[in-house]
Chains A and B, each alone.
Chain A
């Protein structure tokens, strides 16, 4: 007989909910960058509307975690698994908010011709989204080695971020009539950089879950 089978099933249910919210956030981020790149305002609006589903799912994960703590009195790795789920769902929800922010910037930029075709920014976004995919895989497999790789992936995002910001600031001084558009692109750049930081937060939670020790990957 498996002792505490019901509890194990509920922990698994919580894990599946994390995987689900992660997939939704990943899709929202992909679509938001695509909407920005193609200046598709309808798509941007759709992302803003869809965000509610992610917020609700985060609340559901938190409710389940609270119930499990109250009813099952978890300890050791069971408790860490629940705490990690709370933290990871919060990080993912925040990442989805960045997708909404990018969509809002897309709407503010509107359909006016872009000052420069977007090349590096979508690449950086793709990389940040890949970090979320990697973090989710590391979470599913409880793979510490894979989680640690997120730190290196984040370094790439940070470097690219610095370069793009520099480039946008230069554009700003040369093209004062495009201030709104460039400011919004600066914001988008920041949102993507923060998205990557949240992916490394998830990696830290995974390592805490498995090892019971804290590692700083965002330092």
Chain B
């Protein structure tokens, strides 16, 4: 009897959609002094999808995400080689302004970090810096951003109250709203739910699913189930290298590299 692999199942597993990359990372290397933190990173980040970066502590995932908006350069001893192409432009090109890049590539951090200002002023901060003075326009931007971050209904009657009065989960969604207010193209999220309770975490996860319709999202997470739940593609980092980068369904059901398997099944890390 011929034993042939079930073709339908194979095709399903290998189905690849045609997607436009928002970032092309080519042979990216990064050193902190003598420490080689990122080694020959090479992959594309697709547009309007959620890309998760997973890996054990110290594997370079936060360093990597901070290269995408050049925040990593704030560390004085950093050296880099290779290139990161964002929408056909090398972000390390001296002619490319870092402010322009960070307007396009927003970031949400691990701990919610609202400004010590009102809810309204937190969201209006970015647009004001970009020169929007018109109250009516600002009102619209604030409402649209707060709605986009799924927090409008909770704060619409207290926009002038201090943002510190919000719960941790609300503060994080406010920070996402603040990020949306400058209408970025990409949103980087560095462990955005690690300081949140489970319900707030699920709200942010739901929000990410909504946001990917409009934005390209890169999320660093320690929570592997979160990566499995919300991302389209996942990159597994280990010791500064990308061990495996594939669609999330494949990575979590049948990874091709033994190290990935060992990490996601909790055998090390």
Contact = CB atoms under 8 A, between A and B. Distances in A.
Greatest chain A CB density within 10 A among B1, B13, B261, B267 is at B1
Contacts, number: 54
A86 to B, nearest CB: 16
A151 B266 contact: no
B268 to A, nearest CB: 6
Contacts of B224: 75
Given A75-B252, A79-B253, A212-B253, A4 B3 contact: no
A91 B6 CA distance: 20
B254 A7 contact: no
B225 interface: yes
A75 B5 contact: no
Contact of A75 (B10, B228, B268, B269): B228
Contacts of B9: 213-214
A216 B252 CA distance: 23
B265 interface: yes
Given A3-B266, A4-B266, A214-B9, A76 B1 contact: no
A77 B266 contact: no
Interface string A117-155: 000000000000000000000000000000010011011
A80 B266 CA distance: 15
A146 B191 CA distance: 45
Given A76-B255, A76-B261, A213 B266 contact: no
Contacts of B6: 213-216
Given A151-B1, A213-B5, A214-B5, A76 B254 contact: yes
Report, as a range, how many residues of chain B touch the other chain.
20 to 34
B4 A76 contact: no
Contacts of A34: none
Nearest to B13: A213
A76 B253 contact: yes
A77 B257 CA distance: 12
Given A151-B1, A214-B5, A214-B6, A76 B225 contact: no
Contacts of B3: 148, 151, 215, 217
A144 to B, nearest CB: 10
Report, as a range, how many residues of chain A touch the other chain.
20 to 34
B4 A216 contact: yes
Contacts of B266: 3-4, 7
B98 interface: no
B264 interface: yes
Greatest chain B CB density within 10 A among A79, A148, A154, A155 is at A79
Interface in B216-269: 224-225, 228, 252-255, 261, 264-269
Closest CB pairs A-B (n = 9): A212-B254, A214-B6, A214-B9, A4-B266, A75-B252, A151-B1, A78-B265, A75-B264, A76-B261
28 contacts: A3-B269, A4-B266, A4-B267, A75-B224, A75-B228, A75-B252, A75-B265, A76-B253, A76-B254, A76-B255, A76-B261, A76-B265, A77-B261, A77-B265, A78-B265, A80-B253, A148-B3, A212-B254, A213-B6, A213-B9, A213-B13, A214-B9, A215-B3, A215-B4, A215-B5, A215-B6, A216-B4, A216-B6
Interface of A: 3-4, 7, 73-80, 148, 151-152, 154-155, 212-217
Interface of B: 1, 3-6, 9-10, 13, 224-225, 228, 252-255, 261, 264-269
